[in-house]
């Protein structure tokens, strides 16, 4: 019980050596002197206390060195007497002493509440992270590591480095700096002393003092010209090294659940249960791909012995995750191709010829190639499962129309599903126009008249019989919808154009031969499966303007054949894209006005508001009013947002298309597919909020004609990162490159449909790791060749994994 006493003696002696400059300890002697008084509860009569009480207001610090000398000598004398024998409570904190109640035999499914030392609060917080059992603990992997493996002496510490030291606590006590409460300590080893401060943890002192020799790890900073550590990780040196002196795991966590708790829990779970984790990969695969065995990988991913071990462990776990996905994707593709029951659909040459000749343009080479590939697939009795990938404006719609015509000509129904009502309605009219053009010479008379009713009957000259195109969206009136559904079920409708409404339960087709999904990135695997189920074995064509990086083509879209439209219709110069600083806003408005004066039209896109469609709509209304009243009082403005009814949207789009509006103010709803060739400039507010691929989609809205088009990117955010991203938009016109860039910068987010793809959240693997994805793809193909149903004993573990992963989309597998 004389530790504090002895420590203070050391300090005072050092103070003598330093010639009473009060720099022997960080922060000066006063706090330490006071602490001794309270720590030992020194009575007022104690000599030590009397010396202190004789000091002036600000204490020792205020004294002249000569006075200090005397005081120090007095204090040393007082200390030479035996310290009062007071019992200091030395209870250890339980966090560090957590002990599992359950020793063997235990099971991986043991609930975490059995781990001793875990409070109920912790248990419920763990549950919030999805951690309920020992297995969950083992599979809750760190998302990063602090590299504290550099252990050195205090004299070797360097500012800015992450380092570890082993030292004694010399002093420790609560303090306040300004208004911030903290614990301040001075620690020392043979080479020197160091100030350490833990912000916001004023009650740490006692634990520190009673913990013996400490290991501390953290970043070295400077305080008043001297080195210090702030909020370092620490633990007693004789304890397991979980928090210091190594690569220290940092786990995804939640408020109020300290890393220390997670680390201790992981260590306990590993000691007890890691060896019970069975290797789900067949041994041959493990050795062929040089993978770490599962129990070792679990150990090393939590507490790696080295960086190499950590990487090997993560590779093993990522391999397992990706292989599971690939098994599902490859299997799904095989199952799909085994069904030789799809209706072969053929487009008679005369019909194709008639259709092509009726078009107001000549198909591009890419469109013709895509048509050939698709028609070849459709002619088989194996269901087509193809992705048509083409940049915005590359002309996917007419390719879809050709395929749908093949279905109709073969006596089957075709359906096309779009992500928004606006787009469904546009497709509806486009088909009406494309398929009717031969009869009327111009579809324009019909263009808008068909709306309002749920269907239109066309008689293209190249078809023997009339063709009924039906629109099915959520906003049809009940009567119209029933009528549409009846026509679809009775087989009277040849082509059905719709939104999600198409895949609702109450919709059933009489003979669906082909389903097309437009803007696939807005849908998920589940919707694809649902559309497929509307027919016996229909062919499926999915279309997207989002270029699919190779990694995603192998995973999320791994069961599809891919056709790329790599050619734009002729005579469309690339869009000129410019960043606009906030102070150049008026110039941008003026530029829009010039374009309008020249007969063109413009879009203004409002910033993305995440909260809700309603909030976004309100923001758009405000922007619309501001522009109408203050910026363009003399121009004709329109407003488009997601909360408008479809007839309102339609009226606006129609007016815009007919050049009755000069400027269309819109939320992101205009992003997909809208087609108004006379619009040549798009001004995007809050451009930093959008992803690159999405900005490219917007830009595609104005690349629709031979006029030079412009895209202006406005942002208040001047950060270099944002500017760099937008600079990429200025320089790169290739949607493919932008998508790769997006994937690199933002990771595979919602934009690529990964979130809705039915894929699990990957814990270790990254969807950007092409090499590993390719490796697992090949492994999956080989495994399924040798053992198509994964029935062999050594493959059962994998079969289980795959089943767990794919059960939620089994509808598609079976
Ligand atoms: P996207 O691939 O973005 O869906 P669309 O199918 O909407 O593109 O076509 C964009 C525009 O280009 C439409 O106005 C369409 O009529 C027109 N278009 C399509 N193919 C051609 C072509 N071969 N030549 C000229 N214009 C074309
Ligand atoms: Mg389109």
Q: Which protein residues have a CB closer than 5 Å to ligand 2 (ion)?
A: 673
Report which of 739, 740, 745 is spatially closest to residue 724, judged by C-alpha positions.
Answer: 745
Report which of 238, 220, 231 is spatially closest to residue 258, judged by C-alpha positions.
Answer: 231
Report which of 187, 247, 242 is spatially closest to residue 212, judged by C-alpha positions.
Answer: 187
Q: Which of 607-616, 726-735, 737-746 has the highest mean pLDDT?
A: 726-735
Which ligand 1 atom sits nearest the alpha carbon of residue 398? Answer: 6
Element of type H or E holding 578: strand 576-580
Average pLDDT for residues 773-781, to the nearest whole number?
90
Which ligand 1 atom sits nearest the alpha carbon of residue 394? Answer: 2
Residue 598, SS3?
A: coil
Residue 231 token pair? 């909020």
Answer yes or no: is pLDDT of 439 > 80: no
Which ligand 1 atom sits nearest the alpha carbon of residue 364? Answer: 23
Q: Judge if the beta carbon of residue 392 lies within 6 A of ligand 1.
A: yes
- Stretch among 446-450, 474-478, 733-737 having the lowest mean pLDDT: 446-450
Q: Which residue(s) pair with 171 in the sheet?
A: 186
Question: Which ligand has an atom closest to residue 518 CA?
Answer: 2
Q: What is the dihedral of CA 236, 239, 242, 246, to 10 degrees?
A: 80
Report which of 703, 713, 681 is spatially closest to residue 600, judged by C-alpha positions.
Answer: 681
Instruction: Determine which residue's CA is closest to atom 9 belonging to ligand 1.
Output: 395
Average pLDDT for residues 788-795, to the nearest whole number?
90
- Stretch among 412-416, 665-669, 772-776, 806-810 having the lowest mean pLDDT: 806-810
Instruction: Determine which residue's CA is closest to atom 4 belonging to ligand 1.
Output: 396
Which ligand 1 atom sits nearest the alpha carbon of residue 390? Answer: 2
Instruction: Determine which residue's CA is closest to atom 15 belonging to ligand 1.
Output: 395
pLDDT digits (tens, 9 = 90+) for 23-71: 777 778 888 888 787 777 787 778 888 888 888 777 888 787 777 888 8
Q: Which residue reads 């093949």 in tokens?
A: 406
Cβ atoms of residues 652 and 610 within 8 Å = no
| Predicted local confidence at residue 197, as pLDDT | 94
Q: Judge if the beta carbon of residue 395 lies within 6 A of ligand 1.
A: yes
| Predicted local confidence at residue 9, as pLDDT | 87
More confident residue, 438 or 228: 228
Residue 691, SS3?
A: coil
Q: From the centroid of its chain, how far is CA 240?
A: 35
Answer yes or no: is pLDDT of 638 > 70: yes
Spatial distance between the Cα atoms of 139 and 321, rounded to a whole number of angstroms: 12
Q: Which residue reads 């363009």 in tokens?
A: 632
Cβ atoms of residues 663 and 604 within 8 Å = yes
pLDDT digits (tens, 9 = 90+) for 288-343: 999 999 999 999 999 999 999 999 999 999 999 999 888 988 887 787 777 668 89
Q: Judge if the beta carbon of residue 394 lies within 6 A of ligand 1.
A: yes
Q: Judge if the beta carbon of residue 569 lies within 6 A of ligand 1.
A: yes
Residue 664, SS3?
A: strand
pLDDT digits (tens, 9 = 90+) for 386-433: 999 888 888 999 999 999 999 999 999 999 999 877 788 889 988 888
pTM across the whole model: 0.64
| Predicted local confidence at residue 448, as pLDDT | 38
| Predicted local confidence at residue 670, as pLDDT | 65
Handedness of CA 193, 194, 195, 199 (dihedral sign): negative
| Predicted local confidence at residue 662, as pLDDT | 97
DSSP state of 606: P
Residues whose CB is less than 8 angstroms from the CB of residue 170 and which lie 6 or more positions away in sequence, other chains included? 7, 10, 11, 25, 185, 186, 187, 188, 193
Q: Which of 239-243, 497-501, 671-675 has the highest mean pLDDT?
A: 497-501
Residue 553 token pair? 């083509």
Report which of 333, 338, 330 is spatially closest to residue 382, judged by C-alpha positions.
Answer: 338
pLDDT digits (tens, 9 = 90+) for 7-22: 888 889 888 887 788 8
Q: Judge if the beta carbon of residue 666 lies within 6 A of ligand 1.
A: no
Answer yes or no: is pLDDT of 251 > 50: yes
Q: Judge if the beta carbon of residue 368 lies within 6 A of ligand 1.
A: no
469 CA from centroid of ligand 2 (Å): 18
Residue 532 token pair? 């497929």
Answer yes or no: is pLDDT of 515 > 90: yes
Average pLDDT for residues 219-236, to the nearest whole number?
92
Which residue pairs from 269-272 have beta carbons closer than 8 angstroms and sit at least 24 positions apart in sequence? 269/115, 269/134, 269/137, 269/138, 270/138, 270/298, 270/299, 270/302, 270/303, 272/100, 272/102, 272/103, 272/104, 272/106, 272/134
397 CA from centroid of ligand 1 (Å): 7
Answer yes or no: is pLDDT of 789 > 50: yes
Spatial distance between the Cα atoms of 710 and 579, rounded to a whole number of angstroms: 11
Query: pLDDT grade, residue 558 (50/70/90)?
Result: confident
Q: How far is CA 411 from CA 243, 384, 414, 510, 632, in A?
A: 70, 18, 10, 11, 53
Answer yes or no: is pLDDT of 384 > 80: yes
DSSP state of 465: S
Mean pLDDT value across the chain:
85
| Predicted local confidence at residue 451, as pLDDT | 47
Average pLDDT for residues 662-687, to the nearest whole number?
84
Average pLDDT for residues 69-79, to the nearest whole number?
87
Spatial distance between the Cα atoms of 638 and 667, rounded to a whole number of angstroms: 12
Q: What is the phi/psi pair of residue 138, to 5°?
A: -60, -35
Q: Which of 362, 387, 395 to mutate to test the pocket of ligand 1 (most atoms within 8 A of CB)?
A: 395
| Predicted local confidence at residue 10, as pLDDT | 86
| Predicted local confidence at residue 318, as pLDDT | 93
Q: Which of 356, 397, 402, 672 to mutate to test the pocket of ligand 1 (most atoms within 8 A of CB)?
A: 397
Query: pLDDT grade, residue 151 (50/70/90)?
Result: very high
| Predicted local confidence at residue 445, as pLDDT | 36
Query: pLDDT grade, residue 438 (50/70/90)?
Result: very low
Residue 179 token pair? 């208004």
Q: From the centroid of its chain, how far is CA 722?
A: 18
Which ligand 1 atom sits nearest the alpha carbon of residue 397? Answer: 6
Query: pLDDT grade, residue 591 (50/70/90)?
Result: very high
């Amino acid at each position: 019980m004389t530790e504090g006493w002895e420590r203070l003696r050391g300090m005072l002696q050092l103070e003598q050596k330093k010639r009473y400059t009060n720099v022997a300890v960080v922060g000066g002697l006063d706090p330490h002197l006071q602490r001794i008084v309270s720590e030992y509860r020194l009575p007022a009569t104690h000599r030590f206390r009397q010396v202190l009480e004789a000091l002036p207001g600000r204490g020792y610090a205020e004294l002249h060195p000569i006075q200090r000398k005397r005081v120090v000598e007095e204090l040393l004398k007082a200390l030479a007497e035996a310290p009062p024998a007071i019992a200091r409570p030395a209870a250890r904190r339980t966090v560090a002493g957590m002990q599992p109640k359950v020793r063997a035999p235990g099971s991986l499914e043991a609930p975490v509440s059995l781990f001793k030392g875990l409070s109920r609060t912790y248990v419920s917080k763990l549950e919030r992270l999805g951690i309920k059992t020992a297995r969950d603990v083992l599979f809750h992997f760190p998302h990063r590591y602090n590299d504290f493996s550099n252990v050195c002496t205090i004299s070797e510490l360097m500012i800015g480095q992450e380092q570890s030291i082993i030292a004694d606590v010399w002093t420790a006590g609560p303090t306040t700096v300004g208004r911030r409460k903290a614990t301040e300590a001075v620690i020392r080893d043979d080479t020197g002393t160091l100030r350490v401060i833990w912000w916001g943890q004023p009650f740490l002192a006692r634990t520190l003092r009673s913990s013996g020799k400490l290991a501390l790890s953290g970043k070295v900073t400077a305080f008043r010209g001297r080195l210090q550590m702030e909020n370092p990780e620490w633990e007693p040196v004789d304890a397991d090294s979980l928090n210091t002196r190594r690569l220290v795991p940092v786990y995804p966590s939640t408020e109020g659940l300290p890393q220390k708790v997670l680390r201790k829990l992981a260590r306990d779970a590993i000691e007890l249960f890691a060896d019970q984790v069975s290797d789900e990969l067949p041994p041959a695969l493990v050795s062929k791909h040089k993978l770490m065995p599962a129990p070792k990988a679990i150990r090393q991913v939590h507490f790696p012995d080295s960086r190499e071990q950590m990487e090997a462990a993560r590779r093993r776990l990522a391999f397992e995750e990706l292989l599971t996905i690939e098994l599902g994707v490859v299997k799904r593709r095989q199952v799909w191709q085994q069904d030789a029951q799809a209706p072969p659909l053929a487009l008679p040459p005369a019909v194709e010829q008639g259709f092509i000749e009726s078009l107001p343009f000549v198909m591009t080479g890419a469109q013709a190639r895509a048509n050939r590939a698709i028609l070849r697939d459709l002619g088989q009795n194996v269901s087509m499962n193809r992705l048509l990938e083409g940049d915005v404006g590359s002309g996917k719609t007419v390719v879809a129309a050709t395929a749908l015509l093949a279905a109709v000509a073969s006596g089957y129904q075709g359906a096309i599903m779009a992500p928004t009502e606006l787009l469904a309605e546009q497709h509806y009219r486009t088909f009406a126009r494309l398929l009717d053009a031969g009869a009327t010479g111009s579809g324009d008379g019909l263009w808008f008249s068909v709306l309002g009713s749920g269907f239109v009957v066309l008689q293209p000259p190249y078809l023997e019989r009339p063709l009924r195109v039906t629109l099915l969206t959520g906003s049809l009136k009940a009567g119209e919808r029933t009528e549409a559904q009846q026509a679809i079920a009775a087989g009277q409708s040849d082509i059905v154009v719709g939104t999600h409404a198409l895949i609702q339960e109450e919709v059933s087709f009489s003979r669906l031969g082909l389903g097309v999904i437009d803007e696939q990135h807005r849908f998920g695997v589940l919707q694809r499966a649902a559309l497929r189920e509307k027919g016996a074995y229909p062919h499926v064509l999915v279309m997207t303007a989002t270029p699919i990086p190779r990694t995603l083509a192998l995973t999320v879209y791994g069961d599809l054949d891919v056709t790329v439209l790599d050619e734009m219709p002729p005579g469309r110069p690339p869009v000129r894209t410019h960043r606009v600083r906030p102070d150049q806003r008026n110039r941008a408005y003026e530029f829009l006005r010039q374009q309008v004066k020249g007969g063109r039209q413009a879009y203004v896109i409002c910033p993305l508001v995440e909260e809700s469609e309603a909030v976004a709509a309100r923001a758009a209304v405000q922007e619309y009013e501001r522009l109408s009243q203050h910026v363009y009082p003399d121009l004709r403005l329109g407003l488009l947002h997601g909360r408008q009814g479809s007839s309102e949207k339609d009226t606006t789009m129609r007016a815009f298309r007919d050049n009755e509006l000069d400027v269309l103010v819109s939320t992101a709803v205009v992003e997909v597919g809208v087609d108004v060739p006379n619009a040549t400039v798009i001004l995007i507010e809050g451009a930093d909020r959008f992803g690159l691929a999405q900005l490219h989609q917007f830009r595609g809205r104005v690349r629709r004609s031979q006029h030079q088009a412009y895209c202006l990117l406005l942002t208040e955010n001047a950060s270099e990162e944002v500017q760099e991203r937008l600079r990429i938009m200025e320089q790169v016109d290739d949607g493919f490159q932008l998508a790769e860039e997006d994937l690199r910068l933002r990771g595979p987010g919602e934009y690529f449909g990964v979130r809705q793809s039915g894929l699990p959240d990957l814990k270790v693997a990254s969807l950007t790791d092409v090499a590993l994805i390719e490796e697992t793809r090949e492994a999956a193909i080989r495994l399924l060749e040798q053992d198509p149903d994964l029935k062999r004993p050594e493959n059962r573990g994998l079969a289980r994994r795959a089943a767990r992963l794919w059960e939620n989309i089994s509808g598609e597998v079976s």
